[in-house]
Structure 1
Amino acid sequence: MARKRTKTDEAAAPETVVGKPLKLTQFSHGGGCGCKIAPGVLEQILARTAPGVVPKQLLVGIETNDDAAVYQLNAEQALVATTDFFMPIVDDPFDFGCIAATNALSDVYAMGGMPLLALAVVGMPVKQLPLEIIKRILEGGESICTKARIPIAGGHTIDSVEPIYGLVAIGLLHPDNLKRNSGARPGDKLILGKGLGVGFYSAALKKGMLSASSYAAMIASTTQLNTPGRALACLAGVHAMTDVTGFGLLGHLVEICKASGVSAVIDYAALPVLPNALDYAASGCITGASERNWASHGERVTLPRKHFGDVERALLTDPQTSGGLLVACAPEVVTEVLSIFLLEGFDHAAVIGEMSAGKPQVAVVRSESD
């Protein structure tokens, strides 16, 4: 059974090797979903990829950059398959395993599915990391899968230069409840399930600036399973869904707009933000992935520099590791959607904008209440 965290597990108390502090993040050039290939580069790679075999049972493939592949088994069941892994975003090995596993399972929930089982993806510098640390990373992942009530039924391990951990996640859903990123409609309201700012936190951690309370907020957010996706999938008024991860809020919203053939408006004042995250950004704790995200999607975004500075832009492009669900739904089900989030412990869930007819682009405005 996976070891449970206790109050003695502190962010400021890393493992030691030969009497010297060992930090997992020192082995990685980037952490969490900030490790992703820049969306603009990824688009060029996929554009040159041959489509291969596409059976009629494949309900979701790579065509709209959705969160997972979906393959219909019969009239009642469809298989959801995805994989996600990355380098450490935190130094505590148990926390790293928890975050990586939560992030991987999120893609199943984002499609409206129920996780069924997982396979571990493990790459570790075995000559540099003590086996006990590697074991604790795996224990963290196991603890999240236990919380999701699924087994880790196998996996694959390699000796690598950087620590890598994640999951292949398999789930099931009813084909009628499949939620893609391509179903948003003009007039839909946009709801975000978690607060933004994980990238700011991770940058502050690497600089030794992250407080204990902010670390606790970071772990609480990144290890919260996006379980509302299962209930939201059953609502006919929910038209599109994805999760906000490495491409930032703007990047994943642009993907919804492109896939759905609509535009969107975001009210910056309505965005939920993790505690003190903007303070860290103002102090220079911004990841390089934020700028890469803007370079990839900025041409589809209207963000008047007169009203929005560098920190505001960074929040919109901040890479979220294990971020929240982004839901496009009919106005009449907004209350029900928010209630589902609240009942499952997502206190940051908020209406952040709406979809409209027009070219696939995003306009950012600021309401008078800010």
Structure 2
Amino acid sequence: MSTKLTTLSHGGGCGCKIAPAVLSEMLSKLPTAAMFPKLLVGTETADDAAVYWLNDEQALVATTDFFMPIVDDAFDFGRIAATNAISDIYAMGGTPIMALAIVGMPVNVLPIEDIQQILAGGAAVCAAAGIPIAGGHSIDAPEPIYGLVAMGLVHPKQLKKNSDAQAGDVLILGKPLGIGILGTAMKKGLLDAAGYQQLIDTTTQLNKVGSDLAKLAGVHALTDVTGFGLLGHVLEVCRGAQLTAQICADDLPLLSAAVGFAQQGIGPGAIERNLASFGPDAEFAASVADWQQRIMADAQTSGGLLVACSADAADAVMALFQAQGFAQAAVIGSLQVGAAKVSVV
């Protein structure tokens, strides 16, 4: 029987991410990259990937993402980690071209067969994305860690930065929320087979649609929802574009298996860390239940794309999501002129 991967790590998936406020403080004294004019996207607006101008037709998109297991099955862990890493390329409107593996494993604890299955899961997702794993780096680590450096290409005119959202834009979310909550329920032995299947189906669905969304007129900004939860990533859009977001809690797409657990207060510790980091920049109407607030702060691993588009492009965006298998994609709110914050009603 394979080792239960989640017993070997103190956290899992994107719930391992450092809280937004702490990360911001850590990065606050980094030098800016202003002296590199070909760097189209750096760290300034907390975007999904770095982008470097190559020529009038191409820009290089580069990102890295890795974490500890969110599930016990080795193959599924590899698939989830790879899907999550490649998502950052799609979130910039790009098309992936290759990946490098990041591997840290407790080699004296975890059987080689399990490690092989993790790598096989990652390779399977890369094959589905049409890219090779062309190399990588490995270390002997006390906890299992897996992820990718992913690289892609985007036409400079189709690059979608989270800071390019505009007042009047509609916000559309491509995948349902509740991934971190389901992961926690699984660790507690509370998740049934149907709930686990929801977790796997969602986290291993590649956000390939991002490459096509970037070509639509009226799509202004893209990002993916991961460790900082929906609210955290909406806030990044608001801060980058200096706009106010209004989200309707009742319009959010949710994983049905996660709702009951959310109402019971079950979820990763990242929820509390995220909520504390948002502070007064996230406001909730009295009608928004505590469990709804928590699910909006739930750390999503390999979550959905968040699109900011003009109102007249919303139907085309929704049609594209539906055509590519994102059945729960939904309009969840809008952006307006105002202070960089999120208001949930």
Tell whether the structures are fold-level matches, with TM greater than 0.5.
yes
Matched, 1:92 2:60: no
Residue 216 of structure 2: aligned partner = 235
Task: Report the counterpart of residue 344 of structure 2 in structure 1.
Answer: 364
In structure 2, the partner of 1:9 is none
Alignment of 1:259-278 (within 5 A): 259-278=240-259
Task: Confirm or deny: 8 A CA contact 2:33 2:39 kept in the other structure.
Answer: no
What does 1:295-310 align with in structure 2 at a 5 Å threshold?
295-304=276-285, 306-310=286-290
Q: CA deviation at 1:116?
A: 0.3
- CA 1:114–1:39 in structure 2 vs 1: closer, same or farther (change >3 Å)? same
Structure 2 counterpart of 1:64: 45
Are the equivalent residues in 1 in contact too, given 2:74–2:117 (CA < 8 A)? Answer: yes
TM-superposition CA deviations, 1:329-349 (whole Å, max 9, x none): 001111100111011100010
Q: Which residue of 1 aligns with 2:119?
A: 138
Answering whether residue 290 of structure 2 is matched by residue 321 of structure 1, we say no
The reply on whether 1:108 has 2:89 as its aligned counterpart is yes
**1 CA distance for matches of 2:289 and 2:248?**
15
Q: Which residue of 1 aligns with 2:130?
A: 149
SS across alignment from 1:117 = strand
Q: How large is the Cα RMSD of the aligned pairs?
A: 0.9
Q: Secondary structure at the match of 1:241?
A: strand
Q: Helix, strand or coil for the counterpart of 1:66?
A: coil
Contact 2:86 2:96 (C-alpha < 8 Å) held by counterparts: yes
Aligned to 2:103: 122
* Residue aligning to 1:204: 185
The one-character-per-residue Cα deviations of 1:112-169 (angstroms, maximum 9, x if unpaired) are: 0000000000000000000000000000000000000100000000000000000000
- SS of 1:71's equivalent? strand
Instruction: Report how far residue 49 of structure 1 moved.
Output: 1.5
Runs (5+) with no aligned partner, structure 2: none
**Where does structure 1 differ by over 4 angstroms across 4 or more consecutive aligned residues?**
none
Match of 1:350 among 315, 324, 330: 330
Distance 1:311 1:268 in 2: 11
Q: CA deviation at 1:53?
A: 6.9
Contact 2:172 2:332 in 1 (8 A): yes
Task: Please tell me whether the aligned partners of residues 198 and 257 of structure 2 are also in contact (alpha carbons under 8 angstroms).
Answer: no
2:2 matches 1:26: no
1:185 aligned onto 2:198 = no
Q: Is residue 79 from structure 1 mapped to residue 57 from structure 2 by the alignment?
A: no
CA distance in 1, matches of 2:243, 2:122: 38
User: What letter matches 1:77 in structure 2?
Assistant: Q
Q: Partners of 2:269 and 2:123 in 1: how far apart?
A: 31
Partner AA of 1:296 in structure 2: S
Q: Give, in angstroms, the shift of residue 87 of structure 1.
A: 0.0
Larger deviation, residues 120-129 vs 232-241: 232-241
Distance 1:240 1:333 in 2: 12
Q: SS where residue 61 of structure 2 aligns?
A: strand
SS at match of 1:182: helix
Are 1:337 and 2:317 counterparts? yes
Amino acid at match of 1:177: Q
- Residues 82 and 126 in structure 2, CA contact (< 8 A), matched pair in contact too: yes
User: How far, CA to CA, are the matches of 1:149 and 1:119 in structure 2?
Assistant: 14
Give the Cα–Cα distance (whole angstroms) in 1 for the partners of residues 290 and 223 of structure 2: 26
Distance in 2 (CA, whole Å) between partners of 1:298 and 1:143 is 40
Q: Does 1:50 align with 2:69?
A: no
1:213 pairs with 2:213: no
1:258 aligns with 2:239: yes
Matched residue pairs, number? 345
Secondary structure of the structure 2 residue equivalent to 1:342: helix
* Counterpart check, 1:166 vs 2:147: yes
Change beyond 3 A, Cα 1:363–1:221: same
The TM-score normalised by the length of structure 2 is 0.99
For 2:96, what is the secondary structure of its paired residue?
A: strand
Structure 1 gaps, min length 5: 1-14, 17-21, 366-370
Q: Find the residue that maps to 2:163 and give its secondary structure.
A: coil
- Measure how far apart 1:298 and its partner are: 2.9
- 1:222 is aligned to 2:203: yes
Does the 8 Å contact 2:288/2:344 carry over to 1? Answer: no
Structure 2: how far apart are the matches of 1:327 and 1:309?
Answer: 25
Partner SS, residue 143 of structure 1: helix
Q: Can you list the C-alpha shifts for 1:53-95, whole angstroms capped at 9, x where unaligned?
A: 7411100000000000000100100000000000000000000
Partners of 1:167 and 1:299 in 2: CA distance: 35
Shift of 1:299: 1.5
